[in-house]
């Protein structure tokens, strides 16, 4: 089984951002580069590759405050969904957040991903922003179980 790891090589980073763009931005006509923001350098990045070195899923964690971490840019390649890739990435980010003493994790889920996050212990808090005049997002939170 492929391991959750951190991008290291320039090829890893290129493929990591390519999948983020391909899944989260390209379908709405957003340009390359829109899959990144100004927190990339200070964030924790994780991905899962298959045995042929193809990236199957990506995710990022950053801290909004010392007590609150945020999951962003979760993406699993079409054709590789429902194989626990997203859950494995999410649990890895949770371990990082809890190890660094965050009290809660927050994320803004697309409507199509609400059930996935609920199955992983996230609570729906409120309707949030509408991206690209098309994709409704919802704020979801998971509290640190050790606090």
User: Could you tell me the residue ranges of all domains in the chain?
Assistant: 4-143
- pLDDT tens digits, residue range 23-76? 999 999 999 999 999 999 999 999 999 988 899 999 999 999 999 999 999 999
Residue that the structure tokens 């990236």 belong to: 55
- The CA–CA distances, whole Å, from 124 to 6, 111, 118, 144 equal 29, 11, 8, 16
Q: Name the pairing type of β-strands 68-76 and 104-110.
A: parallel
Q: What is the DSSP letter of 2?
A: P
Confidence at residue 136, expressed as pLDDT on a 0 to 100 scale: 86
List, edge to edge, every strand of the sheet that includes 68-76: 4-5, 44-49, 55-65, 68-76, 104-110, 135-143, 123-131
Contact 38, 60 (CB under 8 A): no
Q: Which residues are within 8 A (CB) of 78 and not within 5 positions of it... i.e. 6 or more apart?
A: 23
CATH number of the domain located at residue range(s) 4-143 in this protein: 3.40.630.30
Listed in sequence order, the DSSP H helices in 1-147 are 10-24, 85-99, 114-119
- pLDDT tens digits, residue range 67-121? 999 999 999 998 888 889 999 999 999 999 999 999 999 999 999 899 999 999 9
């Amino acid at each position: 089984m492929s391991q959750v790891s951190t991008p290291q090589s320039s090829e890893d980073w290129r493929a990591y951002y390519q999948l983020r763009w391909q899944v989260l931005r390209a379908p709405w006509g957003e340009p390359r580069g829109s899959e990144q923001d100004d927190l990339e350098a200070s964030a924790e990045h994780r991905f899962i590759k298959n045995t042929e070195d193809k990236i199957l899923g990506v995710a990022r964690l950053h801290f909004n405050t010392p007590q609150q971490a945020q999951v962003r840019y979760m993406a699993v390649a079409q054709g590789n969904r429902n194989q626990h890739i997203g859950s494995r990435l999410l649990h890895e980010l949770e371990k990082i957040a809890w190890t660094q003493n965050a009290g809660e994790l927050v994320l803004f889920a697309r409507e199509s991903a609400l059930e996935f996050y609920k199955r992983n212990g996230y609570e729906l808090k409120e309707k949030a922003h509408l991206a690209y005049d098309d994709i409704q997002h919802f704020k979801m939170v998971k509290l640190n179980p050790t606090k």
